[in-house]
Structure 1
Amino acid sequence: MADQKKAASFNVLPKIINGGIAGIIGVTCVFPMDLVKTRLQNQQIGPNGEKMYSSIIDCFRKTIKQDGFFGMYRGSAVNILLVTPEKAIKLAANDYFRFHLATPEGKLPLHMAGIAGGLAGLFQIIVTTPMELLKIQMQDAGRIASAERAAGREVQKTTALDVAKTLVKEHGIFGLYKGVKATGVRDVVFSVVYFPMMASINDAGPRKADNSGEAVFYWSLFAGLSAGMFSALLVTPFDVIKTRLQAIKKIEGEKEFDGFFDCLTKTMKYEGPLAFFKGGLCRIMVLAPMFGIAQMVYFTGVGEMILGIERKKSV
């Protein structure tokens, strides 16, 4: 009986709407920094120590010089299109599992909060893997093009749709899931850490005066920022491996990788352990504000307002 009541009282539709809107706003705000992160992570050091970008600022400067300001948004269309279901799944699934794993008194033990977050991370890779695979090709295209021009070769422009068609034609639908294992490891570990940490910080803050029981908006922003910063840094090595595995085109002389462990061993052998934290600062600068903004928007309850549903405090 208790389970039936719980199932009946959890409305997933407004959570999905909240997650979709939160994702669009969050990604749009931080996409240029995400592009820089991708290019720095894919950049391999040459035999004589040469590299295209020396820092975050250098990558920003060269990208804007070569492609203009809107070049910083290469690949954003596919990302914004797919981030709606991706964030809707991630944020709504976490709330769903937290709700159903809570005790009859509405309490959620820490280990159950971690399980809820991990399940949410696992569910989201259905959308995350193809989204990031296509996004990375577009984000890294400028770096590849610069190297091709420097070598005197013609540069062919491509689109995310072209890449998707080629992958499906050559490998079937699973061609869009290149790097899915690395994506799964990164997102599950991130979610296991992020969601319980964010919820703990969020619960400790001041509440709104509307009797919803939710934290004030700036505290939700702070909770998302803090938890996102720590979790992003923690899983950066997995993100580096995932990004390199999903980069289909390489600059001449760059190493190819045959799976997760091959990428792990070759990167360690030729570039050392610090290579696993390439783009780490960028990743923090991307995920901390993105999840801070996304959590703040998610907790505003836009979905409930649109559907005319009374908001209830989350577990």
Structure 2
Amino acid sequence: MQLQVGKAVPGAEHYDGMVDCFRKIIAKEGAGRLYRGLVPPLMLEAPKRAVKFAANDFWGKTFKQTFGVDKMTQSLSILTGCSAGATESVVVVPFELVKIRLQDKNSTYKGPMDVVAQIVKKDGPLGLYAGLEPTFWRHVMWNGGYFGCIFQVRALLPKAETKSAQLFNDFVSGAVGGFVGTAFNTPFDVVKSRVQNSVKVAGQVPKYNWTFPSLLLIAREEGVGALYSGFLPKVLRLAPGGGVLLLVVEFTLGIFRKQLGPPYI
């Protein structure tokens, strides 16, 4: 949905929403096509999440020392999340690039390694970092919204008296953070997808190149609503996913702290 450019044209295939997109892909290409580009996200997910929370912890400690405060504040949690997102984006770009190239309905690549081989052959190893700038903004916005909301929602929820109540609070906080982060970052995600799916032609400047000019271009040509293409499937994945992510991280850290003892408790 994020890759279809322009408004619907009579006779041309166009996805009118998530359900319509599902239906047309299955009817035309089979259910297996829904899993096109599965390998890069599978390979990325564990290191991506590890970097996200490790970077958030690192930047949180760094900023508290820098500003001379003992406890996290709302503004610091947002700054920390944005910094963690910037760190995470460097790890994400090559995997996202391969995934987007595979998921394009016009893709002729044989698989992930074929994408890598063709990009490196044509543009060199740095070609795998096409779309770094919009990916940077996408992750800065999502993580800033995510970790900023976690801090605020936790403060608003009733204090957890039991372990199950604490896990519930973690899930709710993460889910709200996932929703808000997705609302913030979807326009940047649309631009990232367009940039990474643009094939470089010698002597020509790509239509979608830098983030903010591309945001204005899409809004002008297709309307502001086009910047939220794919929002529903994204939020259905990332809102509950953000809740599960935080719940699992906090649960796992609790086990390690208990096993390792001081000074990790």
TM range (shorter): 0.7 to 0.9
Matches of 1:232 and 1:86, distance apart in 2 = 17
Supply the distance in 1 between the matched residues of 2:77 and 2:257 (Cα, whole angstroms): 28
Q: Equivalent residue for 1:23?
A: none
Aligned residue for 2:15, secondary structure, equals coil
For 1:223 and 1:191, locate their aligned partners in 2 and report how far apart those are by CA, in whole Å. Answer: 13
How far does residue 190 in structure 1 lie from its aligned partner after superposition? 2.0
* Percentage of matched positions with identical amino acids: 28
Question: Which amino acid counterpart does residue 277 of structure 1 have in structure 2?
Answer: Y
Once the two structures are TM-superposed, the CA of residue 263 in structure 1 deviates from its matched residue by: 2.7
> 1:98 — aligned with what?
60
1:181-260 to structure 2, matched below 5 A, reads 181-203=133-155, 204-207=157-160, 209=162, 216-248=166-198, 256-260=207-211
Structure 2: give runs of 5+ residues left out of the alignment: 201-205
The offset of 1:244, in angstroms, is 0.7
Structure 1 pair 311/224, CA: closer, same or farther in 2 (3 Å)? farther
Distance 1:98 1:208 in 2: 26
TM alignment of 1:112-191, pairs within 5 A: 112-140=76-104, 143-144=105-106, 156-191=108-143
SS at 2:208's partner residue?
Answer: coil
Deviations 1:175-205 (A, max 9, x none): 1111111111121122222202112213434
Query: Aligned-pair distance for 1:109?
Result: 2.1
Deviations 1:26-64 (CA, angstroms, capped at 9, x unpaired):
xxxxxxxxxxxxxx1111235736442122101111223
Separation in structure 1 between the aligned mates of residue 240 and residue 168 of structure 2, nearest angstrom: 12
The alpha-carbon deviation at position 247 of structure 1 amounts to 1.2
Asked if the contact 1:228–1:291 (Cα under 8 Å) also holds between the matched residues in 2, the reply is: yes
TM-score between the two structures when normalised by the length of structure 2: 0.84
Partner of 1:42: 3
Query: Could you tell me whether the CA contact under 8 Å between 1:198 and 1:227 is conserved in 2?
Result: yes
Is residue 75 of structure 1 aligned with residue 27 of structure 2? Answer: no
- Give the drift of 1:120: 0.4
> Contact 2:149–2:180 at 8 Å: present in 1 too?
no
In terms of mean alpha carbon deviation, does 196-205 or 183-192 score higher?
Answer: 196-205
Tell me if structure 2 keeps the 8 A contact 1:45–1:51.
no
Cα distance change, pair 126–199 in 1 and its aligned pair in 2 (3 A): same
TM-score (norm 1): 0.71
Tell me what 1:34 maps to.
Answer: none
Shift of 1:268: 2.7
The CA deviation at 1:225 is 0.9
Q: How many angstroms apart in 2 are the aligned matches of 1:306 and 1:84?
A: 20
Q: Quick check: 2:120–2:127 contact (8 Å CA) kept in 1?
A: yes
Bigger RCO of structures 1 and 2 (CA < 8 A, at least 6 apart): 1
- Output one character per residue of 1:239-266: Cα deviation in whole Å (capped at 9) or x when no partner: 111111111469xxxx943433553343
- Structure 1 runs of 4+ aligned residues shifted over 6 Å read 311-314
- Alignment RMSD: 3.0
